[in-house]
Amino acid sequence: MTNRALILAAQTKGTFELKGEGFEAEDIRLMVQALRQLGVEIKETDRGLQIRNDLSWRGRQDEVKLFLGNSGTSMRFLTSLVTLRKGKTVLTGKDRMKERPLKDLVDTLRQVGVEIEYLEKEGFPPIRIKGKGQVSGENIRIRGDLSSQFISSILLSACSFSGPMELKILGEPVSHPYVELTRHQIASWTEKGTLVAKDRKIEGDASAAVYWWALGKLHDCHVTVTNVPKDTKQPDARFLSLLEEIPKSSAPDDEFDMNEMPDASLMMMAMAPLLDRPTKITRIGNLRVKETDRIEAMATELRKIGSEVAVGKDWIEIKPLKEVPLKTPPAGATMIDGNRNLISQALANLVDNAIKYTPSGGEVTVTAQETPQGVELHVADTGPGIPPGERIHAVERFVRLEASRNSPGTGLGLSLVAAVARLHDARLMLEDNTPGLKAIIRFPRSAQRTR
């Protein structure tokens, strides 16, 4: 909401205020910084931002370099805006920004005679734009299946195009409600086709509010977000309705089409392991071309906490975390001479492995005991176990056993434990737990510390 308002403010002549909260967010901070560099006077107040704009920035003919960090919104919206100035503008950002495609927006602006040069990789930032001062928007064609922000970028700056614009969107627009949000915001700024300078209240970002709404759902508590009105046009506010569809009791597998609110889909992914049924989120392929591949990034992090995750080109499916109790029967103090960090990592790997392969309803038991041979650490599970003939291979690097414990992994877990054991002259043994597997690290008596 705020960055759309700032692009419109840059084209509005007069003095006025944008009132609201959250203007310190990085995306907004980078946009404000860029507009200041272009020549728009923006002052921070205790109520928000004061704009003093005589539109003289459009007549400047110097070259300006704008660093936009990882703010994809700023990059896309400013690409169209700076075509309205007469000087040259370089738009750049962090390394990941240079991997985010911009070609379709650039191709669209080239249709109306804007000169744009790629400075490094074809189709990606950084770019240099030679502004025309005046842009005619007649008969513009743009693909709709890549990013709604490309379309919003054109619409926002079209407020200052010379003459009427006809924009033809090719294909089904992705995240179409965001385009409607842009149209609604433009309409609220204009009277008889002219941008009007007056103080405006800017809504809070519903994309940020979804995290608090989800918190209320997960903990069955009351959460109030005060600066997102009930009648908001923001697509991510629909997340509230989606939360109402999630039952608290057991239900069949469910599927959510989140094409119209892809940003909120990240929160749904984070919630999914805590729900009591598998959750599939679909039609979110454009998340792969953000500041990172958000689908793969979320899948990677969810797997780290033990979630089972499957991904496709435009979907992700997440299963609930298993309920596997971890038991540690009481025992006397047992001391070992050794590297506590390495031994702790070895124990953590064994416990992680045991939980990963134990079905919901099973259990994992961790014990330490003194024996005539020395000190033993035991980690036992009630999973599928490993056949005796395959156990010798289970501790080899990059070996994963397909016949039994065959969930995704690197194949390094047990090999790392074996390596730590060897460093301490200890031994890693794998035995039957009936059912399941018992992993034992036996430290020699020489490693036992006397008390």
- Catalytic annotation, residues: 263
Both structure tokens of 135: 């842009």
Please name the residue ranges forming H helices in 333-390.
340-357
Query: Could you give the angle at the alpha carbon of 250 between the alpha carbons of 248 and 253, nearest 5°?
Result: 110
Q: Is the peptide bond before 262 cis (omega within 30 degrees of 0)?
A: no
Please name the residue ranges forming H helices in 358-423.
391-394, 413-423
Strands in 68-135 per DSSP E: 88-92, 115-118, 127-130
Both structure tokens of 240: 């509230």
The span from the CA of 184 to the CA of 181, in Å, is 5
Long-range contacts of 33-37 (CB under 8 A, 24+ apart): 34/66, 34/68, 34/74, 34/78, 35/6, 35/9, 35/10, 37/64, 37/66
The span from the CA of 50 to the CA of 202, in Å, is 13
Query: Could you give the angle at the alpha carbon of 431 between the alpha carbons of 429 and 435, nearest 5°?
Result: 150
- Nearest alpha-carbon partner for 265 in 222, 297, 304: 297
The span from the CA of 283 to the CA of 369, in Å, is 53
Whether the CB-CB separation of 284 and 265 falls below 8 Å is answered with yes
- Nearest alpha-carbon partner for 367 in 358, 354, 386, 357: 354
The span from the CA of 73 to the CA of 262, in Å, is 14
Exposed/middle/buried for residue 33 (C-beta within 10 Å: 0-12, 13-18, 19+): middle
Provide CB contacts within 8 A for 254, sequence distance 6+: 245, 246, 277, 278, 279, 280
